[in-house]
Structure 1
């Protein structure tokens, strides 16, 4: 149970939980630990959605859940995810989303979005919050925590769960992300310059190699990632975090000092 009498006790308890998360060897073990954490924080239900990119705009979804089974069946069979404001806000925000304050985050909530939230309450999720989290590899996650009865103590329980969320998210990603082919430095360089709108000939001039060599590396990257052309390879590798901003070509636009 979360019971912190002293700062040291709080630190020790968090360290113990972090160790438990790191030692989870399967998705099932992690789901069991999620159930313990939710119960300790006095939540009846939880759901951790993990969006793993398969392209720039396509993702595979994995779900860890202890929510009413009939709710999950109804939610997915009716594609409520399309209108779910919690999902849309989680992709846009990084801050916790308290369900009773959803109007503060989304000023013009559609009728369909309001209906999804009303249905949650009808299915036994009267009070809750959603914690978004994102990674540099294009992974997106959101953890829904809810109760059958509201008690107004969301911020207190937020303090208990928030420090553990990055560890839960990273472990879920480690367990469920399929291995991505590793590109060579030269393959990444060629893809980078093509992503900047350069032709193979222009990239060759920049890199000091032949156009034929550039095309060789581009074709290798396309083949490794199972893509059809260089543009799909760029999209897929950006989504997977293989292509990142060049630290030597940053434009510092503003520095705010105290």
Structure 2
């Protein structure tokens, strides 16, 4: 297949995000798609289940206002992202035609603003590749066809496996160059000392034991733990630890981020 023939030539290890997007666009255009979008988030949802705007959200040949709208709230209303969380395989979607099974499962009235936008922009159909990491990270690679000819939806379904290989290869290439900050959730921020105290709390230490470990007073440790709990909206320390773990903030301690 033409799409896969030049894949290893155009997407080489070490390729940065922007040139990789240009290469991916050129590849999908060969088989009838017009645009590509890629996003990456280390933590897909808040502890309340709301989609978190990704750390990376970039596209090629998409409407000028699309990335701005998605960053300002449309991402949370996007049924394609809900479907990506529910699927491990590439799937086809349509702004106005027949939907794949995974899309039918997630679609609801909440998604109407995004579907209306997609219809207005003539997003006929697309193939989205969900890329799930063992640690919980989520990336999606999407090939879109604007103003598709009749019957392209069936062709898109046939191309889905190849788009899946392209999307996974694309992600493998670009994620190798992610900075540590890109791999951390930006939705919730704790200070290095708050992370350190919560990490020790997660090990089962009391405030007194943490104070002894860090050579700090008990009131100081309590202050850090309470501050972290407030930021996380936690009712107690157990819930604070659980929510910090959800946002993978406790990982920062093992990376030596505590001051």
Q: Do both proteins adopt the same fold according to a TM-score greater than 0.5, normalized to the shorter chain?
A: yes
In the TM superposition, residue 169 of structure 1 has moved relative to its aligned partner by 1.3
Q: 1:55 to 1:80 in 2, by over 3 A?
A: closer
1:156–1:51 Cα change, 3 Å? same
Offset of residue 19 of structure 1: 5.4
- Return closer, same or farther for 1:3/1:171 CA change in 2, 3 Å cut-off: closer
| Match for residue 61 of structure 1 among 36, 39, 55 | 55
What stretches of structure 2 of length at least 5 have no aligned partner? 185-196, 216-220, 222-226, 230-239, 253-259
> Is structure 2 residue 205 aligned with structure 1 residue 199?
yes
Is 1:141 aligned to residue 139 of structure 2?
A: yes
Deviation at 1:156?
A: 2.0
Pairing of 1:1-258 with structure 2 (within 5 A): 2-3=1-2, 13=5, 17-18=7-8, 20-53=10-43, 60-72=54-66, 75-76=69-70, 79-99=73-93, 100-102=98-100, 104-107=102-105, 109-147=107-145, 148-149=147-148, 150-151=151-152, 152-178=154-180, 194-195=201-202, 198-200=204-206, 212-213=212-213, 235=244, 239=248, 242=251
CA RMSD of aligned residues (A): 4.2
Alignment TM-score, normalising by the size of structure 2 = 0.61
Asked if 1 retains the 8 angstrom alpha-carbon contact of 2:90 and 2:128, the reply is yes
Deviations 1:212-256 (A, max 9, x none): 44x57xxxxx9xxxxx7595798369637949xxxxxxxxxxxxx
Measured against aligned partners, the alpha-carbon deviations of 1:32-80 in whole angstroms (never above 9, x if no partner) come to 1111222133211111111244997666421231243245157337622
- Is the CA contact (8 Å cut-off) linking 1:18 and 1:164 kept in structure 2? no
Shift of 1:141: 0.9
Unaligned runs of 5+ in 1: 5-9, 182-189, 205-209, 217-221, 223-227, 244-258
Q: How many correspondences in the alignment?
A: 210
